[in-house]
Chains A and B, each alone.
Chain A
Amino acid sequence: MTRVQTPHGESADTASLRGPKLSHGKLPRFTPLAVFAGSLVAVGALFALLGSFSVPLTVFLGVILHAVVLLVLTQVVEGRRAAIDRLATTAMYSAFGLALIPLVSLLWTAVQEGLERFDGYFLSYTMRGVFGGMDAGGAYHAIIGTVEITLFATLISVPIGLLTAVYLVEYGPSRLGRAITFFVDVMTGIPSIVAGLFAYALFALFLGPGVRMGVVGSVALAVLMIPVVVRASEEMLKLVPNELREAAYALGVPKWLTIVKVVLRTAAAGIVTGVMLSIARVIGETAPLLITVGVADSVNYNLFDGRMMTLPVYVFRQYSQGLAPNGVTTINYDRAWAAALTLIIIVMLLFAVARLVSRFFSPKTGRR
């Protein structure tokens, strides 16, 4: 900040002190922080005296006390409008803090509970012959199932989604294009269980009722994935400057080769990122897989024959078996947490790799 000099040569700050009410009663900058700390300590101390100290209640009441004290303090020193402004600020910060509680507690619990059984054994053994409270069993079969089913879903949805995005962006606005855009939006809102029912109904029509196969699950996931892939690819294709298309046309390159070799090549990093994010979105889907692929205790590599296990369904299955009657009684919950941790790690890895791809492989256009 440059200091404005008044004609008399004194700095603006001092000049304003003499001016008519430009400066006003103002609380020091650290006031909110100090009040917050004070409130926490006060509430905590009160609870400690009463002999029933609890962290959540202390924080909860501390925030309320902080808001009230700050409101009154500001009202007295700075006036009503400033007081309300402070109250709003407190509300915004608390909203963010509140939103962090589930995230932090969830990740913390998953790591803490999951690490107990998250090891090489868990990742490389199945549930074959494991029952009751046996201190054994892993999620190898579930990991195989999740990877196969998700990859096959990707194989179905990426060509469809990508070509649709190409149609929407490269083959211009048309009535069909607008219809597709609208229905892609509609498709984004399909509940995952409905996608599962659809895949089941489709296969039941040809193979009879009661069909359970990996590929049915892949179709269900593809229905959920396609709109995400379309949206992401569409955004990326729109980012490719028109000048590059024109440059290729002017070199006598046909339109389809321009799209394949220039447009898609330029947008490749973004598209790969989008596809990975869409995989991350569907890899945790449980409900459609539960009703189309079912559950299994051992490895089944064949997508086209019989039930398979998947990680999310494994978590649900272990959870719903509840406490074991003998042996390690919490074994089912432990396995559920370990599988949940595996799932979270896979999702986070997908996110991280997607970010790295978009950071390092995006073409540098050299323009602002």
Chain B
Amino acid sequence: MAKRLDISDLNIYYSDFLAVEGVTMAIEPRSVTAFIGPSGCGKSTVIRSLNRMHEVIPGARIEGRIALDGEDLYGREVDPVRVRRQIGMVFQRPNPFPTMSIHANVIAGMRLNNKRMSKAAADEVVERSLRGANLWNEVKDRLNRPGSSLSGGQQQRLCIARAIAVQPDVLLMDEPCSALDPISTLAIEDLIGELKQEYTIVIVTHNMQQAARVSDQTAFFNLAGVGQPGKLIEMDATEKIFSNPSKKATEDYISGRFG
């Protein structure tokens, strides 16, 4: 578990439009890496390319290399579906499957892939994952209720449980708290702190305080103007970025001068 990601010279296109240009960075295992930057700078695009989710959009493609512990994710024989099984993702808005119970939602990763598992094994995975997502105590008595019966924050933790149930190496979170209230946000942030003991976590956030609170590394993305590609401006230890950034643009953004 918990592998490192190495990105080098990553360009991302939507058809002929270059959305992100020249990203090179290393994402360390068992740590939280935060992506920050103004809207449209490509941070969501980058995180979606890390588990090949961007390919879902027709015409999207990349150049460059993304390696998971040295193995190229975009190699000729690599199956994007297998990549996504090793690199889980949590989305902006909680999206539990509305037709499934809480229990079924957690093991959806196995069930949807037709994996056979005994009732006992399924129950064990459900309990482990829900405990891992700090949700077990709240839902253990109503595992057969629909997933959509939970509150927004609980739904998002259910989605995290669903993502860690398949025991991925990396967990990607694309603005996981943007649709949640402050109390639920706090619960998710605490959870991220615990999860980094076991997983490599990448989180996109609009909220700079959140990045400062939860992350070990911070990467700042920016774009020169409308129609220009987004670029990685700088990446460093979170304390360094927020106290003494080396680039002017980063400082302007952190101090709220734009964005």
Contact = CB atoms under 8 A, between A and B. Distances in A.
B85 A252 contact: yes
Contacts of A248: 97, 108, 112
Given A251-B84, A251-B108, A253-B112, A246 B91 contact: yes
A359 interface: no
A363 B149 contact: no
Interface in B113-171: 113-114, 146, 148-149, 155, 159, 162-163, 166
Residue of A246, A251, A363 contacting most chain B CB atoms (<10 Å): A251
A250 B89 contact: yes
B98 A247 contact: no
Contact of B85 (A245, A251, A265): A251
Contacts of B51: 250
Nearest to B96: A247
A291 to B, nearest CB: 44
Contacts of B162: 247, 251
Contacts of B111: 261
A266 B98 CA distance: 7
Contact of A252 (B98, B109, B155, B159): B109
Contacts of B91: 243, 246-247, 250
A171 to B, nearest CB: 10
Interface in B38-58: 51, 53, 56, 58
Contacts, number: 84
DSSP majority for the A interface? helix
A132 interface: no
Nearest to A248: B112
Number of chain B interface residues as a range? 20 to 34
Contacts of B95: 241, 243-244, 246-247
A246 B93 contact: no
Number of chain A interface residues as a range? 20 to 34
Given A243-B93, A246-B56, A364-B146, A251 B98 contact: no
Given A266-B98, A363-B98, A363-B148, A257 B88 contact: no
B148 A251 contact: no
Contacts of B76: none
A335 B40 CA distance: 71
A262 interface: yes
B154 to A, nearest CB: 11
Contacts of A244: 95, 97-98
Interface in A229-270: 241, 243-254, 257-258, 261-262, 265-266, 268
Nearest to B159: A247
B84 A250 contact: yes
Nearest to A251: B109
B82 interface: yes
A326 interface: no
Contacts of A252: 81-86, 109, 113, 166
B114 A257 contact: yes
Contacts of A365: 98, 148
A366 interface: yes
A327 interface: no
A172 interface: yes
A244 B95 CA distance: 6
Interface string B239-258: 00000000000000000000
A258 B91 CA distance: 17
A266 B85 contact: no
Contacts of B163: 250-251
B99 interface: yes
Nearest to A261: B112
Contacts of B114: 257
B98 A250 contact: no
Interface of A: 172, 241, 243-254, 257-258, 261-262, 265-266, 268, 363-366
Given A246-B89, A364-B98, 10 more contacts: A243-B95, A244-B98, A246-B91, A247-B96, A250-B163, A252-B166, A257-B112, A261-B111, A363-B146, A366-B148
25 contacts: A243-B95, A244-B97, A247-B91, A247-B96, A247-B159, A248-B108, A249-B56, A250-B51, A250-B84, A250-B163, A251-B108, A251-B112, A252-B81, A252-B82, A252-B86, A252-B166, A254-B113, A262-B97, A266-B99, A363-B146, A363-B148, A364-B98, A364-B148, A365-B148, A366-B155
The 8 closest A-B pairs by CB, nearest first: A252-B85, A366-B148, A363-B98, A250-B89, A243-B95, A251-B109, A252-B84, A253-B112
Interface of B: 51, 53, 56, 58, 81-86, 88-89, 91, 93, 95-99, 108-109, 111-114, 146, 148-149, 155, 159, 162-163, 166
